[in-house]
Amino acid sequence: MSKRLKELHEEITLRLNAVVDSPRREAELLLIAYLGKDQLYFITHQEDMIDENHPKLLEWIAKRSANVPL
């Protein structure tokens, strides 16, 4: 299933909220790395549809949620 980048960013931020000091920024960094893009792309493509169930992304979110460093 796909979600808008901004929605996925918010969901990841919520998952990381209890674990890290800067959940919004870390969610952004995870998505930038997953997409293979830069911060400008991230900022200007908030409405793009992103596959939220990609195994690599899910693995990274799970690891970071378990407090594994980026």
- Find out whether 17 and 44 touch, Cβ atoms under 8 Å: no
Please check whether residue 27 lies inside any domain of the structure. Answer: yes
Does residue 21 sit within a domain?
A: yes
Residue 53 resides in a domain: yes
Q: How many domains is the chain built from? A: 1
- 59 domain-assigned: yes
Q: Which domain holds residue 11?
A: 2-65
DSSP class of 4: E
pLDDT for res 58? 94
**Residue 16 domain-assigned (yes or no):** yes
Instruction: Identify the band that residue 55 occupies on the pLDDT scale cut at 50, 70 and 90.
Output: very high
Q: How far is CA 19 from CA 6, 10, 13, 31, in A?
A: 21, 15, 10, 17
Would residue 55 count as lying in a domain? yes
> What's the mean pLDDT in 50-61?
93
Q: pTM value?
A: 0.91
